[in-house]
Amino acid sequence: MLGTTGGYGFLAMMKELQTKNRTGKSLLSVPHNSVVMVPCRIMNPETDWVAVVTLQGRLLAFPAAEIPVLNKGKGNKLIQISGDDLANGTDRVVAIAGFPPGASLKLYGPKRFLTLSSADLDGYRATRGRRGNLLPRGFQRIEKLEWIA
């Protein structure tokens, strides 16, 4: 899955990322005030879930099946971030992770981490493009996100 800090992204097949041209291939259109994020791997798009965390401490989890599979482009909105917040630098996507159903998420902050079980994630599940819910106080500055079995 490819995404930007502006909250847009899409699924791409690995074979579509290769090119025959020496000069490369235009793959991802990056919106203004955004940068490209590190791609995350979605093992099974039909059953896996995607978690997105923002700088303001919001978490949104939704099915990976809601994300389109594209060859190139801007993608669809993964999480709602207002244009003013993005332009001011007060909000952006900080982490994206794909995880299988029933897995737990481990959210790393500056000095400690928080593990959300599958039952805890129910409060953060919604459809793609929503704003997401605030994480507990003290865990709103997330730097890294990973799933554990």
Which structural domain, as residue segments, surrounds residue 62? 2-18+25-148
Beta-carbon contacts of residue 59 (< 8 Å; ≥ 6 apart): 51, 52, 53, 107, 124, 132, 133, 134, 135
Average pLDDT over residues 17-28: 73
Tell me the whole-structure pTM to 2 decimals. Answer: 0.88
In the chain, the number of structural domains is 1
CATH number of the domain encompassing residue 124: 2.120.10.90
Q: Can you tell me whether residue 54 is helix, strand or coil? A: strand
- Give 105's strand partners: 116, 147
pLDDT, residue 24, reads 64
Burial class (CB in 10 A: 0-12, 13-18, 19+), 76: middle
List, for residues 88-120, the tens digit of each pLDDT value. 989 999 999 999 999 999 999 888 899 999 999
From the list 61, 57, 53, the residue with the least C-alpha distance to 139 is: 57
